Amino acid sequence: MKWMKNKIKRVLSVVFTLVCVGVFVYAAHGLISTFLDYQNNKQTMNDLQETFYQGGGVTEFADNDGDELKVRSGFDILLGENDELVGWITIDGTKIDYPILQAENNNDYLRRDFYKDYNILGSIFMDFRNDVTSLGRNTIVYGHRTKDQSMFEGLTYFEDKEFYEEHKTFTFDTLYESYEAEIFAVYNTTTDFNYIQTDFTGDENFELLLDEIDERALYETDVEVSADDHILTLSTCDYQLDKHKGRFVVHAKLTKMDPSSLHAAEK
């Protein structure tokens, strides 16, 4: 029966080899797919940035209430490619220089690019509960962290107070207005903290959120925020406190910029 044992060994050896080859092919396919997603995202963003900063002109239209709205230069052409475009965010010292999209939920752009094609890096997107035509007290924008420092990976640079000191403000554009965003808090947290609250019963309720944000901040800033202000909340994943529910958050106070200094016109 020795020949039988040898045959079984050969069969097992072949099976083992085939399994190893299968695992290798699967892993290689995943790595290649991810690499292509990174490359495609880089090219897409380069093309979008070129279109945005070249501008196309101001487009006027009326909303459902009959109010006149003006879509600013730079957004008009891109809106023709994706009507869910709502803004643009630029943070000096990072690779963050991206369009902001908004769907009817917070899932669509987790794994879709500007053209709604699948991409593991997803898009930068605004919370579906926010209204870009009239920003509420807390506007939330989400993005993934990546290995090539793109998307919202750059937010983590603000863990370093020295980096913050050199980059205290950034530009937040919507279709209709441009804002200077002045960072006032940076911290690690989990989704158990409702930092993405958008509805407030009054000033006191909003101030409670501001107080808790202040308590969680990694370091102090000299930015004063009150119930009269509007804030921008930038959120990305973080693994320091929890690998599933962990988040890294940057909050900034919004101040409307003079039309003569609109971001798209400066580039």
* H or E segment to which residue 179 belongs: strand 178-190
Is-catalytic flag, 20? no
Q: What is the largest CA-CA distance in the chain?
A: 91
Q: How far is the C-alpha of 53 from the C-alpha of 62, rounded, in Å? A: 25
Q: Among residues 124, 118, 127, which one has the least CA distance to residue 143?
A: 124
For residue 249, the one-letter residue type is: V
Q: Cα–chain-centroid distance for residue 123?
A: 6
Q: Which of 237, 242, 257, 265 is catalytic?
A: 237
Q: How far is the C-alpha of 56 from the C-alpha of 76, rounded, in Å? A: 6
Task: List Cβ neighbours of 89 (8 Å cut-off, separation of 6 or more).
Answer: 96, 97, 98, 100, 124, 141, 170, 171, 172, 173, 234
CA-based end-to-end distance of the chain: 81
Q: How far is the C-alpha of 119 from the C-alpha of 41, rounded, in Å? A: 8
Q: What is the CA radius of gyration of the chain?
A: 23
Reading the block at residue 153, the tokens are 């990976």
Reading the block at residue 162, the tokens are 């020295």
Which residues are tagged catalytic? 237
